[in-house]
Every structure is written in structure tokens, then in C-alpha cells.
Structure 1
């Protein structure tokens, strides 16, 4: 199950579990669409993998399988 991390690793923008603005790599590194496409050219700065749209989790499943609350913020890795 995906963690659905709550924020962008580059700019710390909030990314709620139902947003269509979150992008992830295969390791679930999480970025907002703006950072992923403009700053990172669609590649994860941590592993070099492709950044793709993160699927959303339907609200009815968030009670049983909540999104992560642990933020990862690495602005220096996104320069």
C-alpha cells in the first residue's frame, strides 16, 4: 500500500491524499507537480527514477488505511 506522504520533498507544499498534484517515483519519494516537472524535469533527485502521478485513495478507505503523516523535506536535494 502506498504511504501517500503529506508534502512535497522540495517545497514542502501540502499534498492531501485526494490531490491530483502529487508525483512519486517507485520508492514513493513525493513531489508536487510543479517541482516534479519544472525543477526536476520529471526525474527523482534521490534515485533518478521517473516521477509519475500518484494515485489517489478514495475517502472511504482513509479511515482504515490512512495516509502517512510523516513529512520528508529535502530542499537542498532539489536545487
Structure 2
């Protein structure tokens, strides 16, 4: 099950688990659409992986399967994706 992190790692914008607009890599690094299309150009700055839309968790399921409350914040200004 996805952790569904609550915010963008670059700008700390809230990303509710039951809403669209979050992007993740295969390690579940989480970013907002603005950072993905701008600063990050679709590439995770942590692992170099592709960032894809994160599915939303149905609101009715959040009580049983809550999203993570752990925020990860590492401002992305000036960061570049690792090279393979």
C-alpha cells in the first residue's frame, strides 16, 4: 500500500491523499504538479526516476487505511536529478 505522503518535498504544498495533483517515483518520493512540470522536469531529484501521477485514495477508505503524516521537505531550488 502506498504511504501517501502529505506534502510536496520541494515546496511543502499540501497534497491530500484523496485528491489528484501529486506525483511519485518508484520510491514514493512525492511532489506537486507545479514542481514536477517546472523545477524537476519530470525527474525525481533523489533517485533520478520518472515522476508519475499518484493515484488518489478514496476518501471513504482513509479511515481504515490512513495516509502518512510524515512530511519530507528538501527544497529543490538548485537541485538536479542524479545521473545514472
Q: Tell whether the 8 Å contact from 1:5 to 1:69 is kept in structure 2 after alignment.
A: yes
Query: What is the root-mean-square deviation in Å for CA atoms of aligned residues?
Result: 0.9
The normalised TM-score by structure 1 is 0.94
Give the 3 Å change call, closer, same or farther, for CA 78–30 of structure 1 in structure 2.
Answer: farther
Aligned residues: 78
Q: Residue 33 in 1 paired to residue 29 in 2?
A: no
Give the 3 Å change call, closer, same or farther, for CA 68–13 of structure 1 in structure 2.
Answer: same
More helix by share: 1
Alignment correspondent of 1:43: 43
Structure 1 runs of 4+ aligned residues shifted over 6 Å read none
What secondary structure does 1:39 align onto?
A: coil
The normalised TM-score by structure 2 is 0.89
Q: CA offsets per residue over residues 27-73 of structure 1, 9 Å max, x none?
A: 00000000011100000000000000000000111111000000000
Q: Which ranges in structure 2 are unaligned for 5 or more consecutive residues?
A: 79-84
- The CA deviation at 1:78 is 4.4
Q: Which ranges in structure 1 are unaligned for 5 or more consecutive residues?
A: none
Greater C-alpha radius of gyration: 2
